[in-house]
Structure 1
Amino acid sequence: MKRVTIVWDWNGTLLNDVNLNCAIMNRMLRKRGKPPVPSLEAYRRIFGFPIKDYYERAGFDFGVENYESVADEYMALYRRDSMDCRLFPGTRQVLFDFKYSGVRQVILSASQRDCLLEQIHRLKIQDAFDEVLALNHCLAHSKAELAEEWMKQNRLSGEDLLFIGDTLHDYEVSRRVGASCLLVAAGHQDKERLLTCGCPVADDIGEAAGWIQEQI
């Protein structure tokens, strides 16, 4: 089990912030006199990367206002309220079981790095990870370049990595670097969407852990 590094996504995979993100989006839409996303199920059908495209699907018009300003507004609301978010049930046990088995674990996230670090320290799981890879801004562009640079610096190949995430973007990043991928259908995109990529899909973190153990 020591040969493979598990590359975890954060938001929606380990951290249960799905309801919060939907609520923030609706708060911002109502502020602009636009209809809210009608349900969590509808949110999970439109969420995706690039984040700018998701904002537009939700109802924002970037011909009228600036995307960067909207992203800053969103991040200010998220950062304040996300500190109350918790891990998905069973996540802490899974992370430390792998750690004590000698498995390297890394977080790769499109989140803003300082916010992510604050979250994992509040949740007291920082010791489970060998590295935390995240962005230094709040625009949530693709994290593929971040993964590629980290792999280059550490002389890793895709065969050394197993990506675990909750969106099609996680699968796209894994394909780009030649790594295996498992998606978890408890996060920001629904299972129906995740199944379209053809990789394994688990219903929750416990099922994901069982699958990972079989692979590594």
Structure 2
Amino acid sequence: MKYKHVIWDWNGTLLDDRWLCVEGINQGLLKRGLPIISEKTYRKVFTFPVENYYKKLGFNFEKEPFEIAGDEFVAYYGKYFSKAILHKDVRYVLNKFYYLNITQSVLSAGKHDFLLQWVTNHNLKKYFLKIIGINNQYAKGKTQQGLSLIKDLPYDKEDVVLVGDTIHDSEVAERMKINCFLIDHGHVSNERLKSTGRKVFSNLKDIIFHII
């Protein structure tokens, strides 16, 4: 085995929720008289910290605090999140690693309580050694949680890989001093992901052979 433990990002990597995030941000844009965006545009501009992405779209946080728009988005997402499904082949890949005794965790920029609910609703808890979210609903703190997670895992860093769908996932892995694979079916375009220098995949199944 090349790796003994896989750390998965959740939103966009395992969960196909890009469409919902676009709907949610467009609700906020419409409310403020700003142009709505397509999924293609979203994948070109989405970034962390998410406050910067809001600013790119025209939100003015001198007129109102970021938290107002952030809370509106979270409320919309929470109302419809049950409609978001897992990406193709997620269960197949999780099962593959599970039966090969490659342990797995989730590390998310989603609020911890929400994350537990999401993972439970999709009947995936049995696959994960640890399920780690953050303590706020504004996607702040994933790096610190990642650093804590890597200290808690009973593996050497070279035996752990993070799989995500954003440039921020690459940055988090860099801070954790572990390798990272990126998947382009989520929140960031293939072109932007390739700018990190990481291996970028379009199919989750293709990652298997780089891990086992």
What's the TM-score, normalizing by structure 2?
0.95
Q: Is the 8 A contact 1:111 1:138 kept in 2?
A: yes
**Residues of 1 paired with 2:207 and 2:141: CA distance?**
24
Is 1:16 matched up with 2:27?
no
Post-superposition shift, 1:116?
1.4
**Partner of 1:174: helix, strand, or coil?**
helix
**Aligned residues between the structures:** 212
Q: Which residue type is aligned with residue 64 of structure 1? A: K
The range that moved more, 164-173 or 152-161, is: 152-161
Partner of 2:26: 26
- CA displacement, residues 164-186 of structure 1 (integer Å, 9 cap, x when unaligned): 00011111111111101100011
- CA displacement, residues 125-181 of structure 1 (integer Å, 9 cap, x when unaligned): 111111101012101114111111222244654323101000111111111111011
Matches within 5 A, 1:2-151: 4-37=4-37, 39-151=38-150
Partner of 1:186: 185
Post-superposition shift, 1:97?
1.3
Q: Is the 8 A contact 1:22 1:43 kept in 2?
A: yes
**Partner of 2:109: helix, strand, or coil?**
strand
Q: Is the 8 A contact 2:3 2:211 kept in 1?
A: no
**Partner of 2:72: helix, strand, or coil?**
helix
Q: Is the 8 A contact 1:2 1:104 kept in 2?
A: no
**Partner of 1:102: helix, strand, or coil?**
coil
Instruction: Give me the CA root mean square deviation.
Output: 1.5
Post-superposition shift, 1:2?
9.0
Partner of 1:165: 164
Q: Is the 8 A contact 2:106 2:131 kept in 1?
A: yes
**Partner of 1:162: helix, strand, or coil?**
strand
The alignment-based identity, stated in percent, is 34
Q: Is the 8 A contact 1:157 1:178 kept in 2?
A: no
- CA displacement, residues 80-122 of structure 1 (integer Å, 9 cap, x when unaligned): 2111110001101110111111011000000011111111111
What's the TM-score, normalizing by structure 1?
0.93
Structure 2: 5+ residue stretches without partners: none
Q: Which residue type is aligned with residue 14 of structure 1? A: L
Q: Which residue type is aligned with residue 40 of structure 2? A: E
Q: Which residue type is aligned with residue 111 of structure 2? A: Q
**Residues of 2 paired with 1:143 and 1:156: CA distance?**
20
Q: Which residue type is aligned with residue 15 of structure 1? A: L
The range that moved more, 163-172 or 115-124, is: 115-124
**Residues of 2 paired with 1:44 and 1:127: CA distance?**
31
Q: Is the 8 A contact 2:43 2:188 kept in 1?
A: yes
Q: Which residue type is aligned with residue 181 of structure 1? A: C
Q: Where has structure 1 moved over 3 Å in runs of 4 or more?
A: 153-157
Q: Which residue type is aligned with residue 137 of structure 1? A: N
The range that moved more, 150-159 or 6-15, is: 150-159
Q: Which residue type is aligned with residue 10 of structure 1? A: W
